Amino acid sequence: MLQQLFSSATSYGRAARFLIVGATSYGVQVAVMKIASEVIGLGTNTAFSVSFICSSATHYLLNRFWALPSARADSWRQAREYLGTVAISYLINIGVFRLCLDIIGLTKIWATAVAVPPSTVVVFLLLNYRVFRAAAAGEARKS
């Protein structure tokens, strides 16, 4: 799978766009986390969850329509698969967030920052090879 990822210019482009989307989504998450926890005064887990939802919405829209364009016609199934991927990502993120906050003693913003990278590889692989997979050569010609 990793060999396939780095075997073509198209794959490199998809990976680069995915990283740009990730950085944008991360910016949304940190900004919303800061506003939700410090301005609005939401509790830590609630603020993290709200920021995660906003970040995930940004992530889905940018990936679906720009970074990882897909030839799949089953949009509802694709959306459900994306939500499953988000659930996996959330579990990884909240686990690392709480570990960094409770055990390591990082601030909420730093714990949020550290929580993002561990799930990035898993999410990229799931999105690139399952949810938003590129059309195979034969499929691309049919579209």
Residue from 87, 142, 96 nearest 118 by CA:
96
33 pLDDT higher than 80: yes
Q: pTM of whole model > 0.85?
A: no
* Domain ranges within the chain, ordered by starting residue: 8-136
Average confidence score pLDDT of the chain = 82
98-121 pLDDT tens trace: 999 999 999 988 998 898 888 888
The answer for residues whose C-beta is within 8 angstroms of residue 98's C-beta and 6 or more apart is: 111
